[in-house]
A and B are shown apart, each in its own frame.
Chain A
Amino acid sequence: MATKSFKWLALLCGVSIGAASLAHAQDSGPLIDTLVKKGVLTDQEGEDLRVELLKDFGTSSAGKLNLSSALTELKFYGDARVRYEYRTGESGNTPVASALAAGSTNNTQERNRFRYRLRFGFNGKFHDGWFFGTRLETGVGSRSTNSTAGAVTAANGVTSKDNNTLFVGQVYIGRTVEDFTFTAGRMPNPFVTTPMVWDDDINPEGLVEQWQHESGNVTWKANLGQLLYEGSGTTNPIGTGISRQNTFLWVAQAGAKVKFNNGSAVQVMPTYYGYSGSATSMTKLGTTAAGTNSGILRPTGLSIIDIPAEYSFKLGGLPAKVWVDYAYNMDAEDRAAAAGRPTFDGEDTAYQLGVGVGAAKVKGDWEAKLYYQSVDAFALDSNLVDSDLFDSRTNMEGFVTSFSYVLSNGVTAKFTYANAKRKEQNLASYGAGDIATPNLDNYQLFQADLNVKF
């Protein structure tokens, strides 16, 4: 009897240790099968052990989850961030209308904000290459996931939760078939890009087809997107209603990443962005007159060639990279005309030059970045450019620097500073930013973030 008890105890310990944790106990079948095959256990003892392990597993946290048997993988992930932000900008005009109305001659605006965000998602895989993903996030805008602290309403009092609604940031379904991936829905940005062209909070909506093929040291890539830019819906209204078409953003991107034997790599991904329709529910392009350019701008006159390229290498044992993103709007002439400034049809180019050292991955890691960016007034879609760094504007030039340090695995502190000015003084700084002037000059931004990722 004592021998039998000892055998059981040893087996339970052995299997549990072998399985690393109770959460893995139900995966111990092959180990039990091997023990049975080798005669260490009888078949009956093996079955008893299986039940015992499953019973223990059922009392663990993981064992209490009851997931669809159709799932082959389910992953929960997310992040929480607290931020202090200071941004300031000057108006290139005489004092803005609102300031004058208030009797002020002040021409500078400053904003101090304490902000936080939550993003929580789960994605899963099924058989035959099918997958899905979802993410809930704070922040109603397409280019921000922040809630600003200190919301006050008469009804809900101080520190109300009026800003704290969770929105569906991502919901998508897709399938991978060999080198191809097809995705439909509202998804993480699938394109190789930089903040100069796309704010990284934007989750494009529509259809995306991706192809990736490795051949030796070369990884070939192609991404196609048919993205819904504005879904106005009714195309054949009853009665006298206006017929509207949806506005689409069409993206075609193809390129390659080449790895070299010394560990360095270069990636070039030429891209084309084209639009059909002009998002008629959006504010039209305005002129440079004060107060007429503060709204979202229609994607009129945009047919952009963009070439993001990156060279990554080791610098004194640290990962490092230099990159360039060059964009040229082939229809800048039309966009300038739509803005009422046809003589500025040469405002068609944008570029970003950057260098980065380090990689913020595990405790003690750090990463520093510095880049210079110059964006002509009619070079890019101001609805997509980064909302923070140059206040969602085009016709701006300046630099951005950031430093990240990993305090503990999953916990990162990050500091960002940006400094920019208007490029062409005779044109507005197009876009809808936080600084309330259409002619933004001498813009500065400072952000201090504490981020927890899980």
Chain B
Amino acid sequence: MKKSILIASALLASVVSASAQKLVIKGSDTLGAKLVPQLAEEYKASHPGVSFEIAAEGSTTGITAIIDGTAQIGMSSRRAKATEISAATAKGVTMKPIIVCYDGIAVIVNEKSPLAGLNKRQVEQIFTGDVTDFSAVGGNPGAISVYTRNTSSGTYSDFKDLAMKKRDYAPSSQKMAGNEQIVAEVAKNPNGIGYVGLAYITAPGIKVLTVDGGLPNKESVLAKKYPYARPTFYYTNGEPTGEAAKFIEFTHSDAGQVIVTKVGFIPVK
């Protein structure tokens, strides 16, 4: 009888343990502020035993977490750098990129701005500080307030590569913790300009500028015609396994991609 109780207890413990599995996901604010939490909520509905720990503090933190083994999934809105891949290899970690969805980095201004669009050269000039007054690019006279993401952000890095020829940001630019903070500042400041992922462009008080005549949308991003289009990623250590693999599979499923669309990103299929 005692033996039976012990076996039953052990079985119960293993069931509880399995049903309380936690998935740690760290990284990009672009993905982690809206999309991944919504995917997680939906996933939990069909997998009640799974819990999530999501930390959206920038793509760099997501890639570092994979290298350090402190997360099963690293979110990143940029590609891993050569130095990061070398660091991973040195630790025996194999960086595996998995495309989550597509994004276009939108250039936003205050909704009251008369500006409708800029060309790529003007965008570069504004964000590097070569141009400091909106009158130089067809706007109302006024000192431009540039809002950027902080240095651990993948969007910060991608925008530098895609829009600024890898030049440094204007010394006067203000670094914000996330997309929502940039939106909030630009919505308050008639002379503000910033950039955000597609999931954040519907916020009140801002408007999206055309770049070289085009807006970031499904067609221009998928056709790679929008100059600041990019894929976004999950990173794992090698091929994903276990619950991480199931969650990634769910992200790519029709249900997952519906959420991707609902949030504002471009689905992979």
Same assembly: yes
* Secondary structure class of chain A's binding surface, majority of residues: helix
Cβ of B82 and Cβ of A63 under 8 Å apart?
Answer: yes
Please tell me which stretch of B34-42, B49-57, B95-103 contacts chain A, meaning at least 4 of its Cβ atoms lie within 8 angstroms of it: B95-103
Chain B residues closer than 8 Å to A69, beta-carbon distance: 166
A408 vs B85: C-alpha distance when bound (angstroms): 39
Chain B residues closer than 8 Å to A79, beta-carbon distance: none
B86 at the interface (CB under 8 A from A): yes
A213 at the interface (CB under 8 A from B): no
Give the interface size class of chain B. Answer: 20 to 34
Interface residues of A in 103-129 (CB under 8 A from B): 127-128
Cβ of A37 and Cβ of B224 under 8 Å apart?
Answer: yes
Cβ of B82 and Cβ of A47 under 8 Å apart?
Answer: no
A264 at the interface (CB under 8 A from B): no
Cβ of B168 and Cβ of A127 under 8 Å apart?
Answer: yes
From residue B219, how far is it (CB to closest CB) to chain A in Å?
15
Cβ of B83 and Cβ of A66 under 8 Å apart?
Answer: yes
A50 vs B95: C-alpha distance when bound (angstroms): 11
Chain B residues closer than 8 Å to A51, beta-carbon distance: 80, 85, 95-97
A64 vs B89: C-alpha distance when bound (angstroms): 12
Interface residues of A in 53-91 (CB under 8 A from B): 54-55, 57-59, 63-64, 66, 69-70
Cβ of A47 and Cβ of B79 under 8 Å apart?
Answer: yes
B233 at the interface (CB under 8 A from A): yes
Give the interface size class of chain A. Answer: 20 to 34
A48 at the interface (CB under 8 A from B): yes
From residue A43, how far is it (CB to closest CB) to chain B in Å?
6
Q: Are A58 and B231 also in contact (CB < 8 A) when A37-B224, A47-B79 are?
A: no
B167 at the interface (CB under 8 A from A): yes
Cβ of A26 and Cβ of B89 under 8 Å apart?
Answer: no
Cβ of A57 and Cβ of B99 under 8 Å apart?
Answer: no
Chain A residues closer than 8 Å to B83, beta-carbon distance: 66
Q: Are A47 and B233 also in contact (CB < 8 A) when A26-B82, A37-B224, A54-B82 are?
A: yes
Q: 1/0 contact trace for B148-184 toward A, CB 8 Å? A: 0000000000000000001110000000000000000
A44 at the interface (CB under 8 A from B): yes
From residue A407, how far is it (CB to closest CB) to chain B in Å?
38
Chain A residues closer than 8 Å to B233, beta-carbon distance: 47
Interface residues of B in 44-89 (CB under 8 A from A): 79-80, 82-83, 85-86, 89
Cβ of B79 and Cβ of A50 under 8 Å apart?
Answer: yes
From residue A281, how far is it (CB to closest CB) to chain B in Å?
43
Cβ of B85 and Cβ of A47 under 8 Å apart?
Answer: no
A51 vs B86: C-alpha distance when bound (angstroms): 10
From residue B252, how far is it (CB to closest CB) to chain A in Å?
10
A451 vs B97: C-alpha distance when bound (angstroms): 50
From residue A449, how far is it (CB to closest CB) to chain B in Å?
41
Chain B residues closer than 8 Å to A59, beta-carbon distance: 89
Cβ of B85 and Cβ of A54 under 8 Å apart?
Answer: yes
From residue B88, how far is it (CB to closest CB) to chain A in Å?
8
Query: Contact partner of A58 among B79, B82, B94, B98, CB < 8 A?
Result: B82
Closest A residue to B79 using CB positions: A50
From residue A365, how far is it (CB to closest CB) to chain B in Å?
39
Cβ of B89 and Cβ of A55 under 8 Å apart?
Answer: yes
Chain A residues closer than 8 Å to B98, beta-carbon distance: 44
A64 vs B87: C-alpha distance when bound (angstroms): 10
Chain A residues closer than 8 Å to B96, beta-carbon distance: 48, 51
Cβ of B231 and Cβ of A47 under 8 Å apart?
Answer: yes
Q: Are A43 and B86 also in contact (CB < 8 A) when A51-B96, A127-B168 are?
A: no
A58 vs B85: C-alpha distance when bound (angstroms): 7
Chain B residues closer than 8 Å to A70, beta-carbon distance: 168
Cβ of B97 and Cβ of A63 under 8 Å apart?
Answer: no
Query: Contact partner of B82 among A43, A44, A57, A127, CB < 8 A?
Result: A57
A63 vs B82: C-alpha distance when bound (angstroms): 8
Q: Are A63 and B86 also in contact (CB < 8 A) when A37-B224, A43-B231, A47-B231 are?
A: yes
From residue A48, how far is it (CB to closest CB) to chain B in Å?
7
Closest B residue to A29 using CB positions: B79
Closest A residue to B157 using CB positions: A69
Chain A residues closer than 8 Å to B79, beta-carbon distance: 47, 50
A54 vs B80: C-alpha distance when bound (angstroms): 9
Closest A residue to B161 using CB positions: A29
Interface residues of A in 6-58 (CB under 8 A from B): 26, 33, 37, 43-44, 47-48, 50-51, 54-55, 57-58
A115 vs B99: C-alpha distance when bound (angstroms): 62
A48 vs B96: C-alpha distance when bound (angstroms): 7
Chain A residues closer than 8 Å to B95, beta-carbon distance: 51, 55
Query: Contact partner of B97 among A47, A57, A127, CB < 8 A?
Result: A47
Most buried by B among A37, A55, A57, A70: A55
- Identify the 3 closest CB pairs spanning chains A and B, nearest first: A58-B86, A47-B97, A54-B85
Residues of A participating in the B interface, judged by any CB pair closer than 8 Å: 26, 33, 37, 43-44, 47-48, 50-51, 54-55, 57-59, 63-64, 66, 69-70, 127-128
What are some 24 contacts across the A-B interface (CB < 8 A)?
A33-B224, A37-B224, A44-B98, A44-B99, A47-B79, A47-B97, A47-B99, A48-B96, A48-B97, A50-B97, A51-B85, A51-B96, A51-B97, A54-B82, A54-B86, A55-B85, A55-B89, A55-B94, A55-B95, A57-B82, A64-B86, A69-B166, A70-B168, A128-B167
Residues of B participating in the A interface, judged by any CB pair closer than 8 Å: 79-80, 82-83, 85-86, 89, 94-99, 166-168, 224, 231, 233, 268
